[in-house]
Structure 1
Amino acid sequence: MSLQRLTALRALMASQPNPLAAYIIPTADAHNSEYISPADARREWISGFTGSAGTAVVTGARALLWTDGRYYTQFANETDPAVWTLMKESLPETLTMEKWLTANLVSGDLVGVDPHTISREEWNNLQTNLIRSKMALIAVEKNLVDEVRIQMNDPPPARSRNEIIPLPIKYTGKAAGEKIQELRAKMAEKKAAALVVTALDEVCYVLNLRGSDIEYNPVFFAYLLVTPTSVVLSCSHTLSDSVLDQLKSERVDITLAPYESITETLTQHAKKVAESERRPIWLSSEASEAIHSAASGMTVLKRPLDLISEVAPVALMKLIKNEVELQGFRACHIRDGIAVIRFFRWLEQNVKESSVSEVQAADKLLEFRKEEADFMGPSFETISGTGPNGAVIHYTASRTGPQHVISPKHMYLLDSGGQYRDGTTDITRTRHMSKASPEQRDAFTRVLQGQMMIGSALFPRGIKGNVLDSFARKALWDVGLDYAHGTGHGVGHFLNVHEGPSGVSWRPYPRDPGLRPAQILSNEPGYYKVGEYGIRHEDLVEIIAVTKDSDHPKAKGLLGDFEGCGVLGFRTLTMVPHQRDCINVELLNDFELNYINNYHKTVLETVGPILKERGLMSDLQWLENECLPLVRA
């Protein structure tokens, strides 16, 4: 099917009023979402590759896909190598997309892209490179993949318009009206006529609303236009009385506009602004080229409005959690820990007594999570991988194909998370179902050493997250091992499990404002032996300020505060033990041995009493055994 679809797309490219030599198909939707709706899964449809990141380029003779090291194995499993070429972004010798285009096309060629699916920043970079080579970038308003799907009687599914729900202030800690007033104060400082909010999680955050239009992400399709006197919500959902009542109680007066008319809404607003003070419009640099063009009035004004295109102020606001949000994160991780602990006790017993498939395991974990208060659903599709499948970093167990049984002879990797009204969880634990080999125990321990090195790190306030990345890799690097993904990502509060603009990775986060207290990040080093097994340990951590009196394993050794910058560290939120039998104690130094024992002691003291109170004695006994202190022989 991939070749048939490419053939139809190439015919459509050639039939354009200005024939295209190349067409770009990003993963992103019109909101630059990481996880997208089936209605926007154009790159997946054309290529067969289901990974959450990647950009396809189709020319008359070639079809290429750029993606990073998380997906190399997955790409090989899902695409036709006779049709598609993998461009490995992680390798220094791989040409970037713009360099490949300028090297393989000829002067005068036109490159097309849907301007709703590419950011202004990406557009400008690509356009500049093409112009230098006497080529041009063309905005194709009607998405050609959508057009091909219609031609082939396989149209895109309808865009979801699921129920929008209010999130009360007891969970959010701040009224929507207060957030809007803070944004208006920032607009006044920028002398901006309006703020355009395009990221779906940012719209939800500002209004204290949640949805379910994209699976696992509690968001709904909408745009928000904030002016000094109005708030315009562009969405095609019906707002319930409970939503309207909460907005009113939180002092938000909403004007509704259709979702599909956002460019017209922004264009008309630009005309009004141009007739008065001609102040600039403020929006995220990650907003699409189409939104930038409409907000400036590009098509209707002789002199378009100036734009302030930078990191979105809402992204920076929601990055720092308030005390209510932090308390929610701490509480939901205890409940989530209970579910995961119960699951692993159940899995250990049932793998020995009967066959359990990867899908059955994921479903059983969901059952346990559903028993916990305020659970709203998984925060992403559970990665349940046994043996070689654990080495596929973003593996998905198929429900329709052959079912892989979790073997007692293999390592098993489980990466999962939950959406709760009071927070979001993301945890990975790797366990061997019987006895790990010496090689596996060594790798397991080195990955754990990296996680502990991050978890115990002290660093200056405001440092960029990428500076910490090497800490997680050192024990692996010492023996020539590594992993092809970042070490940590931000996490939203009952929002997207991956939240920018901060993170910890070997690649810098370009918009990272620097680490501050009250941020939530993941801590997840790994190691993957393709074809055999995968290992990843993931906790969520809260950034805290550290002094000599803090509850931090390195606090007492402090001699300064980075010349007044302030000292930061991490507090681990995740409450699930690591498998004792997979830890090679001889590799641990005294600090690491104490660290893991203290962590297990904290897990037992936090979760154990709740299990006892609920009469879950088998689970309690399992937890007590897993949390026994490790000692050297």
Structure 2
Amino acid sequence: MDAADTKAADTRAADTKAADTKARLDALRALMRERGLDALLIPRADEYLGEYIPAHNERLRWVSGFAGSAGVVAVLAEAAAIFVDGRYTVQVAQQVDAACFEFLHLVNDPHLDWLVERLPAGSRVGCDPRLHTLQWYREARDRLDRAGLELVADTDNLVDACWEGRPDPVVREALLLPEQYSGESSVDKRQRIAGLLRQSEVDAALVFAPDAVSWLLNIRGTDVPLLPVLQSFALLGADGTLTLFVDPRRLPEGFARHAGEGVSVAAEHEFAVHAAAWKGRRILADPAQANAWTLLTLEAAGARLVAGTDPVLLPKACKNEREIAGARRAHLRDAVAEIRFLAWLDAEVEAGYLHDEAELADQLYTFRAAGEHFHGGSFDTISAAGANAAMCHYNHLNASQPGRLAMDSMYLLDSGAQYIDGTTDITRTIAIGNPGTEQRRLFTLVLKGHIALDQARFPRGTTGTHLDALARQFLWQAGFDYDHGTGHGVGSFLSVHEAPQRISKGWNGVALQPGMIVSNEPGYYRDGEFGIRCENLVVVRELEGDFEIPVLGFEALTLVPFDLRLVEPDLLGASERAWLDSYHQHVLDTVGPLLDEAERQWLVRATRPLGN
């Protein structure tokens, strides 16, 4: 994706309360009456169930004006509600017309319960089975059935039928990823996964997630903002053959040669015809990941579904040495851009220029775009000044007006990029003037947690949940916490939020393994005042040493200094000081030679040893 694509992604299809929400609801309700539906569920999803969706599938935004990344709308004949999680309670009130929608919490006020309370027995609830997992579909069907309600599956989406001026899908040729970046051919990957299928005694697996398909075929897409995946799904046989279901227009010349023998291509609308060939055969599929329509189609064709995790996810998460080398190069390139931005920002503040959040995000983008192999952002930049940073998933594009820097405050910048050789994600909290003692104390507690997690040493079999408390311990001791995970997986020129590994309080049973890339990002947020987050990406490595058992640890990929103006040195122990000095010296030694003289002198000051 080029700069224009990402810029378009930042401003895509922004319908606000000023839009004629009532007219859209009226159109939907008229069509519901024609179809004999008493309620309609509209999730923020498309048929691939990914985090990022293209403009033509932003159905929830079209009907409500809400631009967040998660939510559900329920429409009844005389009422409607929008359900969002705690990240979006402020945003939903700003963007959605309260005269048309009731605002409810996605977790605390389940939308199915809301429907059951309001609909009489015999009512029919419509949904598009392409936009929900099979697990959700079955649970919803059972929940509604117990209340005497019927769940009606209809792939002829009602929103699409009402959406005048709906954007056309963007269809561009995908990119063939050379083996110099992937480190393994598609043929070898498919044979490796096929071996796992034979061990599991299944005939095939549904590879549903587009990033899994993209990894398996060494191909990257350009149709979805911020996510370089080929929109597709596939059936992988236990013999290594694969049928790819995709719009053929997305496949570039040379794809067949690139993918190797054993790959056939079919249009997605032909899936039902191909499903018939699997009658009576065992197909591994994840009901919590794949959409209901795909699995119900296989079931209707007589296939025997075997519930299980997509076998591609774990091999994809464990990067090979070629991918890890690429990640190091991408992070070095990214560090140059970030450090240039930080040096520029300090000079601007010193000169009295207090920019707004949008100007700052654009400037960082410009520095990144000048780097080699840049393919756009990896997510919407969180450029948050002052109190806006208290919303941990704040997006200045969704605010009525971007916030502006203020003296004696903090600025939180969480951003990342896609490069052909790696994906980056970094957060730095930056002093604007002198934020004060309390902010410095809390920043230092967050940084102590970051350092503790970075220094963790752990045996094989350890999960991210086992390690999560290391990052929170100093905040907990002071009576504080943060309401998000400490770390997520990151792909290789793929999704910046990659399954299955995770570091969080909530249980994750996937053990951390060598080659996995995860974020280390503890934080603290004080509502209405400020937010703090310290984030690096790290790769899991097996450590050398005189150990009785194999021991794993983290290697930092991110190479950008933490703001020493926010550190209270007296709150750091000797080992923490040594870690920070060592990290900063490594940043200076590695990135310094790539900067101009003024930028290098800024970096020298930013990485000075503590106490000097």
Contact 1:165 1:243 in 2 (8 A): no
Aligned equivalent of 1:279? 281
Residue correspondences, number: 590
Contact 1:575 1:607 in 2 (8 A): yes
Aligned match of 2:541 in 539, 544, 549?
Answer: 544
Contact 1:351 1:407 in 2 (8 A): no
Residue type at the aligned position of 2:77: G
Distance 2:461 2:29 in 1: 48
SS for the counterpart of 2:35 is coil
Pairing 1:161–2:171 present: yes
Distance 2:479 2:118 in 1: 36
Aligned match of 1:255 in 264, 268, 275?
Answer: 264
1:321 offset after TM fit, Å?
0.7
Distance 2:410 2:395 in 1: 16
Contact 1:162 1:237 in 2 (8 A): no
Distance 1:281 1:75 in 2: 41
1:210 offset after TM fit, Å?
0.8
76 and 504 in structure 1: CA distance in 2 versus 1, 3 angstrom threshold: farther
Matches within 5 A, 1:212-611: 212-227=222-237, 228=239, 230-238=241-249, 243-244=254-255, 247-248=256-257, 251-259=260-268, 261=269, 264-265=270-271, 267-274=272-279, 278-285=280-287, 286-296=289-299, 298=300, 301=301, 304-353=302-351, 354-398=353-397, 402-509=401-508, 512-548=509-545, 561=549, 566-611=550-595
1:131 offset after TM fit, Å?
2.2
Write out per-residue CA displacement over residues 221-269 of structure 1, whole angstroms, 9 at most, x where no aligned residue: 222233337432222243666543xx4255234333223x1xx42x323
Q: Structure 1 stretch 80-89 or stretch 444-453: which is displaced more?
A: 80-89
Pairing 1:109–2:123 present: yes
Q: Extract unaligned runs of 5+ from structure 1.
A: 550-557
1:148 offset after TM fit, Å?
2.4
Residue type at the aligned position of 1:54: G
462 and 47 in structure 1: CA distance in 2 versus 1, 3 angstrom threshold: farther
Contact 1:321 1:518 in 2 (8 A): yes
Pairing 1:59–2:76 present: yes
Distance 1:61 1:538 in 2: 46
SS for the counterpart of 1:312 is coil
Distance 2:151 2:251 in 1: 43
1:452 offset after TM fit, Å?
1.7
Matches within 5 A, 1:36-47: 36-47=53-64
Distance 1:70 1:252 in 2: 46
199 and 115 in structure 1: CA distance in 2 versus 1, 3 angstrom threshold: same
SS for the counterpart of 1:220 is coil
Distance 1:465 1:102 in 2: 37
Q: Extract unaligned runs of 5+ from structure 2.
A: 1-19
Distance 1:525 1:583 in 2: 15
SS for the counterpart of 1:575 is coil
Write out per-residue CA displacement over residues 90-138 of structure 1, whole angstroms, 9 at most, x where no aligned residue: 6xxx243334433443433322210000001111122222222232221
SS for the counterpart of 1:337 is helix
209 and 71 in structure 1: CA distance in 2 versus 1, 3 angstrom threshold: same
Contact 1:74 1:392 in 2 (8 A): no
Write out per-residue CA displacement over residues 325-351 of structure 1, whole angstroms, 9 at most, x where no aligned residue: 111112211111111001100111123
Distance 1:2 1:478 in 2: 48
Contact 1:230 1:253 in 2 (8 A): yes
1:368 offset after TM fit, Å?
1.5
Write out per-residue CA displacement over residues 470-513 of structure 1, whole angstroms, 9 at most, x where no aligned residue: 3322222233322222211111100011111221223234xx43
241 and 214 in structure 1: CA distance in 2 versus 1, 3 angstrom threshold: closer
Write out per-residue CA displacement over residues 35-58 of structure 1, whole angstroms, 9 at most, x where no aligned residue: 111111111222222111222223
272 and 241 in structure 1: CA distance in 2 versus 1, 3 angstrom threshold: closer
SS for the counterpart of 2:428 is strand
Contact 1:161 1:237 in 2 (8 A): no
1:364 offset after TM fit, Å?
1.6
Aligned match of 2:143 in 123, 129, 139?
Answer: 129
541 and 470 in structure 1: CA distance in 2 versus 1, 3 angstrom threshold: same
SS for the counterpart of 2:225 is coil
Distance 1:484 1:76 in 2: 21
Residue type at the aligned position of 2:28: L
Residue type at the aligned position of 1:545: E
1:66 offset after TM fit, Å?
3.2
SS for the counterpart of 1:25 is strand
TM-score normalised according to structure 2 size? 0.91
Aligned match of 2:46 in 6, 10, 29?
Answer: 29
Residue type at the aligned position of 1:8: A
229 and 580 in structure 1: CA distance in 2 versus 1, 3 angstrom threshold: closer
Distance 1:98 1:515 in 2: 35
SS for the counterpart of 2:346 is helix
Contact 2:374 2:419 in 1 (8 A): yes
Contact 2:248 2:265 in 1 (8 A): no
Aligned match of 1:70 in 87, 96, 109?
Answer: 87
Write out per-residue CA displacement over residues 142-169 of structure 1, whole angstroms, 9 at most, x where no aligned residue: 11222222xxxx3421111112111100
241 and 51 in structure 1: CA distance in 2 versus 1, 3 angstrom threshold: closer
Identity value in percent: 37
Residue type at the aligned position of 2:540: I
1:377 offset after TM fit, Å?
1.5
Contact 1:161 1:221 in 2 (8 A): no
Contact 1:196 1:281 in 2 (8 A): yes
Contact 1:116 1:289 in 2 (8 A): yes
Q: Structure 1 stretch 352-361 or stretch 514-523: which is displaced more?
A: 352-361
Contact 1:146 1:155 in 2 (8 A): no
Distance 1:241 1:24 in 2: 37
SS for the counterpart of 2:350 is helix
Contact 2:244 2:264 in 1 (8 A): yes
586 and 205 in structure 1: CA distance in 2 versus 1, 3 angstrom threshold: same
Contact 1:70 1:484 in 2 (8 A): no
Distance 1:238 1:419 in 2: 23
Aligned equivalent of 1:177? 187
Pairing 1:623–2:603 present: yes
Distance 2:90 2:524 in 1: 14
569 and 142 in structure 1: CA distance in 2 versus 1, 3 angstrom threshold: same
Write out per-residue CA displacement over residues 274-328 of structure 1, whole angstroms, 9 at most, x where no aligned residue: 3xxx2112233211110001122x1xx5xx3211232111112201111111111
Contact 1:51 1:394 in 2 (8 A): no
Over the residues paired in the alignment, what is the CA RMSD in angstroms? 2.3
Write out per-residue CA displacement over residues 55-85 of structure 1, whole angstroms, 9 at most, x where no aligned residue: 2223334433333333233223322334333
Write out per-residue CA displacement over residues 173-206 of structure 1, whole angstroms, 9 at most, x where no aligned residue: 0001111112322333334333322211111111
Distance 1:453 1:104 in 2: 50
